[in-house]
Structure 1
Amino acid sequence: MITDLLSIAALVGSGIVAGVLFAVALSVLPALFAMPADRYVYTHQLVGRRWDPTMPILVLSSMIIDVVLAVLTRAEPALLFATAAVLLLGVSVVSHFCNVPINRVVKALDPDEVPPDWRDPRPLWRRWHLLRTALALLGVTVNAVAVVLG
């Protein structure tokens, strides 16, 4: 019974993470790339206000649930839950060490005074974001397979 509830939580959590990151990649990123620097900085600051601490908590709690399921379930699903946990850890690592530092730099800028020699972080941010999106999509897929096999 507890593994059934945890399996649902793992699917919902990892599904929300994958869905949010996919939506950003599909819609938000192209919009941000279409903006001039000052609008991009302003919009990035607005869009980023509610992500912390919601997304880190969601990613890490989903990862912990996967670890617990890896311990509580039989061999084949356990390996899949462990794999999903590693994939979600990858999402967290990429976010924390790659995207968040870029976000801090953008948040510190005044949109009305973007320096002329400003180095546009969007291409680098997009690469890291697409990596964590792929990891999240793989994570929810592996969780789904684990639940079906469990």
Structure 2
Amino acid sequence: MHNALAIVTVVVVGLLVGVEFAVAAFVNPIIDGLPNNGGLVARTEGARILGKVMPFWYIGSVVLGAIWAVRAWGDAGAGLVVTATALLVLSVLMSIALLVPINSRVAQWTQDSVPADWKQQLGRWDRFHYVRVSVIITAFVLMVVAIA
């Protein structure tokens, strides 16, 4: 059971990392290059859709990590799992404090209600997102090492 929990946790966190990395490295840069502010429309829609799904994914990752950490307590690699889970908690706190407020505003934008500083707001979100992606990648690597 312990191995199954570890594998499920690594897969769930790995998929989270993959989605968030893809958004940062590929999706947003591609849609930002669309003509006639097409990227703005895509970002708004993405904020709505991902804003509904990602909280469950992040919290689920933390819960799985915490369960794994408790079950692995005293075993080799338990410290890595605890540290990884703490990093996932940090990513949730970053999301709530830094990214969600911006994302919530973006999700409400329409072509008629876009603020003048919309590019700066999206740029700020991107910078925070890059840091969050680094945090969850580190958590993922620690979990992979703990499983080995």
Q: How high is the TM-score relative to the length of structure 1?
A: 0.86
Report the Cα distance in structure 2 between the residues aligned to 1:83 and 1:46, rounded to whole angstroms.
34
Change (3 A) 1:145 1:24: same
Percent identity (aligned)? 27
- Which stretches of structure 1, 4 residues or longer, exceed 4 Å deviation after superposition? 35-38
CA deviations 1:86-118 (Å, max 9, x no partner) are 111122112222111111112222224434x33
Q: How does 1:70-149 map to 2 (within 5 A)?
A: 70-73=69-72, 74-115=74-115, 117-120=116-119, 121-148=121-148
Residue in 1 that maps onto 2:48? 49
Q: How does 1:34-45 map to 2 (within 5 A)?
A: 34-35=33-34, 38-45=37-44
Q: What displacement does 1:16 show?
A: 0.8
Aligned residues: 146
Q: How does 1:51-70 map to 2 (within 5 A)?
A: 51-70=50-69
CA deviations 1:117-148 (Å, max 9, x no partner) are 33421221111100110011111100001111
Give the SS at the match of 1:76.
coil
User: Which ranges in structure 2 are unaligned for 5 or more consecutive residues?
Assistant: none
Give the SS at the match of 1:110.
coil
Contact preservation (8 Å) 1:91, 1:136: yes
User: One-letter code of the match for 1:24?
Assistant: V
Report the Cα distance in structure 2 between the residues aligned to 1:35 and 1:7, rounded to whole angstroms.
41
Q: What displacement does 1:35 show?
A: 4.5
Contact preservation (8 Å) 1:37, 1:114: no
Give the SS at the match of 2:77.
helix
Report the Cα distance in structure 1 between the residues aligned to 2:128 and 2:143, rounded to whole angstroms.
23
**Aligned alpha-carbon RMSD (Å):** 1.9
